[in-house]
Amino acid sequence: MFDRLLDAAPYSLRQTEKEPLLLTGLNELMRFHTERCPDYARIINAAWGGLRPYRAIEDVPFLPVGLFKEMELSSTAVSSIVLQSSGTTGQVPSRIIVDPETATRQSRALIATFRPILGESRLPFLAIDTKDVISAASLTARGAGVLGMMKFGAKATFALSAALETDRQAIRKFVDANGSKPFLIFGFTFLVWTKLYEQFGDGELDLSNAVLIHSGGWKKLEAQKVSNATFREAFRARFNLTRIYNFYGFVEQIGSMFVEGPEGLLYPPNFTDVIVRRPGSWEAAEPGEEGVLQVVSLLPRSYPGHSVLTEDRGAILAIDKGIDNHFGKAITIAGRVAKAELRGCSDVIAASAA
């Protein structure tokens, strides 16, 4: 099932084709994790009335994302790495167990998602980050993101020092050497803005052959009145950079990335999907109605992260429009959820694991 969804172009399946395939895979994952993760089995039994076949994606039980900060949930006995959410200083990070099988699934999903954008050949790679982010003892979401995109890159250059200071000389040298052909820039949105855009003046760099992929950090930029549209126009005007792709993802489902497509909307690839839920009742919302995002994915097998209620608000704005061969749901992200909206749901489910 996973292979079938992965082998197709990432947004090629219409919703009516995609949902039955996803549902079969999700039902299998429910059984798999219930059998192998005792804490997860207790949650399903206590909070959801036990395991049963689910007839629709919106019926599949979910875990609130905050639960991964409280518990280390594992469905594998194989030696694994632990990914941590980057988190704000002082916050408890999520801890995600990734064994070789799940790492391979995540890698294949990443390649399937970005290959249509980046092509078959590895591109010279400029990371707007420090090399330390991939060599730390504990790998964070930022580090995992850089490592993931390095699969598409060659001759990697890191633009920042260990102290996150911009190495202007290294950036200039990279662009001079590689700027005449396509090359890849990757970084988290706030770093790309503050460490690249704000460090060079208009026309100082010619990035017309670059493909920029970025994500995260929007809250800080929105406080500075930098919207996605403002971001895109600023890079076009200053650097002649027009191929820009924002994406939505989170460490609890790493590999499941919703990439910016037509009309600036975000599209879940074939092996994942999104449900919007009304806070409080947790019923599925109607298209166009804003609520809390639940994301389902066929990737996680080393931990029960296949159905996660996020802390993000959003809405489904289109289904199966087919622009540029993008089918399925198209969403927009509205921001973070107020903690009070999630507290009741999270408390009930967390208590079920005790």
Alpha helices (H) along 37-132: 38-48, 67-70, 100-118
Selected residue with higher pLDDT from 80 and 119? 119
pLDDT of residue 306: 97
* CA distances from residue 139 to 93, 105, 213, 223, 346 in whole angstroms, order as listed: 11, 18, 20, 28, 26
Would you list the domain boundaries of the chain? Answer: 2-79+258-352, 121-248
Cβ atoms of 258 and 267 within 8 Å: the answer is yes
* Helix 339-352 with 38-48: angle, nearest 10 deg: 110
Collapse the DSSP code of 158 into the 3-class scheme (helix H, G, I; strand E, B; otherwise coil) and give the result. strand
Q: Under 8 Å CB-to-CB from 256, ≥6 apart: which residues?
A: 109, 249, 268, 269, 271, 272, 295, 297, 299
Q: Cα-atom radius of gyration of the chain, to the nearest Å? A: 20
Selected residue with higher pLDDT from 120 and 40? 40
Tell me whether residue 143 is exposed, middle or buried, using C-beta atoms within 10 angstroms of its C-beta: 0 to 12, 13 to 18, 19 or more.
buried
Tracing tokens 């399925």 back to the chain, one arrives at 328
pLDDT tier, 41 (very low <50, low <70, confident <90, very high otherwise): very high
Residue 350, both tokens:
């967390």
pLDDT tier, 298 (very low <50, low <70, confident <90, very high otherwise): very high
pLDDT above 70 coverage of the chain, percent: 92
pLDDT of residue 84: 84
pLDDT tier, 347 (very low <50, low <70, confident <90, very high otherwise): low
pTM: 0.91
Query: Across residues 33-42, what is the average pLDDT?
Result: 97
Q: Could you give the maximum distance between any two Cα atoms of the chain, in Å? A: 61
Say which DSSP state 18 is in.
H
Tell me the per-residue pLDDT of 112-129, one tens digit each, with 9 for 90 and over: 999 999 998 999 999 999
pLDDT at 95 over 50: yes
Residue 128, both tokens:
């707007």
User: CA-CA distance, 42 to 33, in Å (whole number)?
Assistant: 11
Weakest mean pLDDT among 65-69, 224-228, 308-312, 350-354: 350-354
User: CA-CA distance, 341 to 122, in Å (whole number)?
Assistant: 44
* Other CB atoms within 10 A of residue 139 CB: 20
Q: Under 8 Å CB-to-CB from 219, ≥6 apart: which residues?
A: 335, 336
Beta bridge partners of 127: 158, 186
Cβ atoms of 324 and 262 within 8 Å: the answer is yes
Tell me whether residue 28 is exposed, middle or buried, using C-beta atoms within 10 angstroms of its C-beta: 0 to 12, 13 to 18, 19 or more.
middle
User: CA-CA distance, 352 to 354, in Å (whole number)?
Assistant: 6
Tell me the per-residue pLDDT of 138-184, one tens digit each, with 9 for 90 and over: 677 788 889 889 999 998 999 999 999 999 999 999 999 999 999 99
The CATH code for residues 2-79+258-352 is: 2.30.38.10
User: CA-CA distance, 198 to 72, in Å (whole number)?
Assistant: 39
